[in-house]
Amino acid sequence: MKPSDIADTVLEATVVPSFSRIGPLLRSGLDHWTSTDEYRLDGRVIVITGATSGLGLVATRAWLEAGATVEIVARNPGKAAATVEQLQSEIAGAAVAATIAETADLDGLRNAAAALCARHDRIDVLVHNAGALDPSHAYAANGIEQTIASQVVGPFLLSALLYEPLIAAAPGRILWVSSGGMYTEPLSVDQLTIGPDEYRGTVAYARAKRAQVTLSEMMAERVDRSALVVHAMHPGWALTPGVERSLPTFRRVMAPLLRTAEQGADTLVWLAADDDQPLATTGGFWLDRRIRSLHKIKATRVADTPAERARLWEWVVAASGTDFPPQG
């Protein structure tokens, strides 16, 4: 094992330094990271949900500066228009546009996908980044709890709807932005459908993120890597508007150690831009440009069974109304 591998293993085992700003500061030197400023993405098309603030906005800016065309899928027309205007004013010649859709609204996603497919024969990268931590229980229009509908069911459907332009890029990429919070929750299909009396926002969010990572791995198993790679990542603990709004106590206590939004978004930007490591494998769960374990505690490891994975797949196929890859 190389010294850099040993150092990274020790860092990952400690959790707090790994997830904090210490992680990228050390690892970027240990692994001799190529700066994301050095990548060129001219001619490539990236579709991203949740790009009007935080990590999504930072990543979108980086891809535009590298020459990519970026399609933002956003639920708020005003914020979407303001983000497009902001980016076009910051970056000369920025090829950025917005399509309006809520990721929990399946009919809205179908309309958005149709519009995107009409504009682009090929989509190089699809990024599932939208994902708020909702403090209060709510049902989406499809009758599924809002967090699960918007962060699990909707993204699964959008992946299927954009499958053809993604494989036209050969290899296309699907990237899920998860959270280190998923380490605290086991895979449980039954717990994805809890009612308002049992609801806790942080728990529902962590369960959704666990489901995302599991689905990412399962989707990767169903598609040839030469046509499409599927990865998930988590940004560590980054200071974003979402964290400030949803976790104010955590933000206050951890403020000196929180990553910048740029540090949090680095691996996402890199997974979409680099043509080496991200394409050499599929189904990975990444932090700081390295694949990480899906489990840190025994309880989540023993719950992650083939039977429960099969239940998750059956459930999301039924909830979304599509398989992946789509049939027919």
Q: pLDDT digit string (tens) for 113-148?
A: 999 999 999 999 999 999 888 889 999 988 999 999
Query: Cα dihedral angle (80, 81, 86, 87), rounded to 10 degrees?
Result: 70
Return the pLDDT at 132: 87
Return the pLDDT at 2: 86
Give the pLDDT mean for 78-106.
98
Domains of the chain: 34-320 (3.40.50.720)
Buried-state track 9-25, b at ≥16 Cβ within 10 A, e below 16: eebbeeeebbbbbbbbe
| Angle, CA 80 vertex, CA 316 and CA 51 arms, to 5° | 55
Cα-flanking dihedrals φ and ψ of residue 173, to 5°? -135, 135
Q: What is the per-residue pLDDT across 245-269, written as a single tens digit (0 to 9) for each?
A: 766 776 676 778 899 999 999 999 9
Return the pLDDT at 16: 87
Strands (E), 61-158: 69-74, 95-100, 125-128
Return the pLDDT at 253: 65
Return the pLDDT at 246: 66
Strand pairing report for 285-287 and 290-291: antiparallel
Q: Average per-residue pLDDT in the chain?
A: 95
Q: What is the per-residue pLDDT across 46-71, written as a single tens digit (0 to 9) for each?
A: 999 999 999 999 999 999 999 999 99
Cα-flanking dihedrals φ and ψ of residue 49, to 5°? -95, 150
pTM of whole model > 0.75?
yes
* Bridge partners (DSSP) listed for residue 239: none
Return the pLDDT at 48: 99
